Amino acid sequence: MSAAMNQSPVASPKADIILSARGLTKRFSGFTAVDSVDLDIKRGTIHALIGPNGAGKTTCFNLLTKFLQPSAGKITLNDRDITRLSAADISRRGLVRSFQISAVFPQLSVLENVRIALQRRRGDSFDFWRPEKVLSAYDEEASARVEEVGLSSHLHEPAGELSYGRKRALEIATTLALEPEMLLLDEPMAGMAQEDVGRISALIRKISANRTILMVEHNLSVVADLSDQITVLARGQVLAEGTYEDVSQDERVVEAYIGAGHE
């Protein structure tokens, strides 16, 4: 077999793994918040990172999205080493972190918020003073993104006047404008009223159709409902992995949650 054939992505046993971490470790002045974590995220799945308070989920998430540099370990995206790349570099490579609601410009309309995200993707300057004609060239695509998240009837409403759940949907639309191959969601249900939890869950399921999603989420019924695969962290280490059924029946997981004062 030729070398070229050997390198074919189809032939690679890792072809179905989009994001991978090996020995991922983060120490904060002597305290190890993330300790030798191995993680494989399968392409096209919804993968949840869960664990009791202080387990290291946020730190792990920040390492994978390059908001923190690891003390040790390796991260690969589509088999390429991204350990030393910046957050902006990996976002250009299709790994995009969804920002919290504060990333939405409250005075600007829903459409304008998505339009700015599209400009950012195209490398256009973050310029509010562009001629209207240039900006409106983005409108068609921005409208499509807005429709995708179910906000078409709020297109011209200032983002600041949207309900909390709709702000989250808008924030997801601005993230989709960056055309992520993989989306990382940091506690998408945080602060949501019960009726919004259902809507945002349905939205996450919808946008997962042709993407990979990794989320840190405390709401375990959402995790049970959405996730194909779950990694449970405790004290910075991987405690268990599998489907919700697998991990929820694992005694070590139950003990870790009870020990940390969760119900």
Q: Which residues bind ligand ATP (CB under 6 A)?
A: 28, 31, 33, 51, 53-59
Tokens at residue 202, please?
């349905």
C-alpha 120/C-alpha 48 separation (Å) is 28
Positive/negative CA dihedral, 244, 254, 189, 55: negative
CB of 234 to ligand ATP, least distance (A): 9
C-alpha 154/C-alpha 128 separation (Å) is 21
CB of 3 to ligand ATP, least distance (A): 42
CB of 203 to ligand ATP, least distance (A): 23
Residue closer to ligand ATP by CB (options 30, 131) is: 30
Burial (CB count within 10 angstroms: exposed 0-12, middle 13-18, buried 19+), residue 94: middle
Residue closer to ligand ATP by CB (options 148, 186) is: 186
Q: What are phi and psi of 34, to 5 degrees?
A: -130, 125
Tokens at residue 256, please?
């870790």
Residue closer to ligand ATP by CB (options 33, 46) is: 33
CB of 68 to ligand ATP, least distance (A): 8
Residue closer to ligand ATP by CB (options 181, 187) is: 187
